[in-house]
Structure 1
């Protein structure tokens, strides 16, 4: 399912226009991004939790030359599925 198909489903389920559903989805994504940028967790009960994880600095290998390179530490977005989401998939 892509973004436009998701907007169609939201519009149908919530009985709103596709434009309103698109704005609502964009606002939701923006709010989640903003909270994660501040380092906050976003928990949607029954769906899951979005949070920021940390990846430590490490040594890697350049596949072309075989030379060892240093990879910087990074913050990465993560998602942990909630119980209701896990149960609905199984």
Structure 2
């Protein structure tokens, strides 16, 4: 799903104009980014959490020259899905698999 598709979905479900829906989607994304920039953890109950993980410094290679380079430590955003989200995804997968198996049985 693209951002444009998400905006369309929000507009339809909330009976908003696309412009209003886009403002809402942009505000949510911007709020998440700003909270991460402040080092905060974002918890969305039933969905998951966004947080930062620290990547330690390491040795890397310059792809053009092959020379070894030092890659400095950095923070990277990380999303951890919540139990409810995982359960919903796995339930959907299990139901789809059951339908596939039911349709594949010989008569």
TM normalised by structure 2 equals 0.79
Distance 1:64 1:26 in 2: 37
Aligned CA RMSD, in angstroms, stands at 1.1
Q: Unpaired segments of 5 or more residues in structure 2?
A: 91-107
Indicate the structure (1 or 2) with the bigger Cα radius of gyration: 2
2:97 equivalent in structure 1: none
What's the TM-score once normalised by structure 1's chain length? 0.92
Deviations 1:30-71 (A, max 9, x none): 111110000000110011101111000011122333321100
Structure 1 residue matching 2:63: 3-state secondary structure: coil
Alignment correspondent of 2:9: 9
Deviation of the 1:17 alpha carbon: 1.6
Larger relative contact order (Cα-Cα within 8 Å, sequence gap ≥ 6): 1
